[in-house]
Amino acid sequence: MPTVDRIDGLRVVIYPNDHRPAHVHVIGKGCECVFQLDGDQHLPALRENFGFSERDLQKIKTAITKRLAHLMTEWDKLHGYV
């Protein structure tokens, strides 16, 4: 499970053999959430949350939105689309 980025000490992970749609797992502080990278209006969308506060989720979503092109490229590389 390669760490492709970090957000305030949290790991942003993409599993190489994971399923579509493109998404990332954010792990840390004893919590995990999953954001689909191409949600409504082509913005990241929260798919699952295990323990993060709403405030943390908003920070994570903002950071993922800023890094979206990079994360999509990483998803494609890890899944053999590039």
Global pTM value: 0.93
Tell me, yes or no, whether 2 lies in a domain.
no
- How many independent structural domains does the chain possess? 1
Residue 82: pLDDT above 70? no
| Chain segment 21-78, per-residue pLDDT in tens | 999 999 999 999 999 998 777 889 999 999 999 999 999 999 999 999 999 999 999 9
What is the span of the domain harbouring residue 51? 12-78
Tell me, yes or no, whether 47 lies in a domain.
yes
User: Does residue 21 have a cis bond before it (omega within 30 degrees)?
Assistant: yes
Structure-model confidence comparison of residues 22 and 81, the more confident one: 22
Give the separation between CA 67 and CA 14, rounded to whole angstroms.
14
Residue 17: pLDDT above 90? no
Give the separation between CA 12 and CA 25, rounded to whole angstroms.
6
Compute the C-alpha angle 6/12/14, nearest 5°.
Answer: 145
